[in-house]
Structure 1
């Protein structure tokens, strides 16, 4: 279905969600966090329990607003699409969207740095300023194989609890946010913290964790430095401008 046809048949809120989610897919590709076609980002359509996810087989840097697949919590397609969805993607994302009313967007990646840290017994360490934005919100879930079994859902939800970042052990990163911008910025800092940790460990010298008393003050300091604006106002517009320069067409 053409972009104009999809837009004519959805609400303005759904179309905006489609545009932002397609942009997020292309940004994940731009930053090198994609894994061919095997990871997934999803966004709930405002005011519904339905959500959008990637057309399985399409590369992240070619996804458009109109190509996203709309499904319900049972995995049924709610609009015509020539594409199927990734079964593992459905298992993970449907579990989180069903359990968390605040999960407007869920992002899951298999980035090399994220997997490397997820495979470490101690997980993410307080080695960088970036880690400080993630550690208070971080949960862990043990690897159970490729996520195609529905009976893993309650354990995933239990381990996530009220947090909005998760290290899926031996698997990768997961973030959620009330908006696509929230989830993406959380993913950015989680990926950055993991990359810094891997590089610091590779240097071979003794590591210097950030002292606990300093960690306690980071959240308040972050609110000051970001003017308490939130990612959707402070960061997301600039990311879209960058994408418009480097890979336009996501809003088609």
Structure 2
């Protein structure tokens, strides 16, 4: 299987503070990789660095066979690297449909905007019902659906998803992860950062555990020992 995205000895942080160090991770095309770990492990910072929102302090990022370490965020989006951010970050005064249209901003996605919008409405019938509603009035679960839908409008080759279950009820979390299973079945390449380990493992092909800026476990989902993962997660064993 082809590695569509990889980092070599990647380090990044904020100002003088480094958040993660020397991360060499690979992500297979058409597979779902989950990155789990406690708060402060560096998971979200890693995704932002992949998108070019944070400048690395060292190491490299390769996407689709090309070095993109210093590439702009927009060029990465144009080439199919898309982030669905933590906290949704919608345009609250715009309607549901207008938010989706904003997702079709990349040049390659514009011609397929109507087709992609209908695809999103098929995945999320609730969004179609609320297409003219201001996004700032949506429930948390509906807002998360819209954030995912907006990301899909960009026609991602690789979809980075940051903490999608944050603040959601168990019922809504199940609905969101059912959509991820559909995307997985469609062979979308997904990199999922998630603190809900049980949900994350259900859809994973490969699992990374991050702690304090380092990867402490890297295994295929089938090889993961849940007790060992839990012990490592909560630092109960070496």
TM value normalised by structure 2: 0.30
**Structure showing the higher strand proportion among its residues:** 2
Greater relative contact order, per chain length (Cα 8 Å cut-off, separation 6+): 2
TM value normalised by structure 1: 0.29
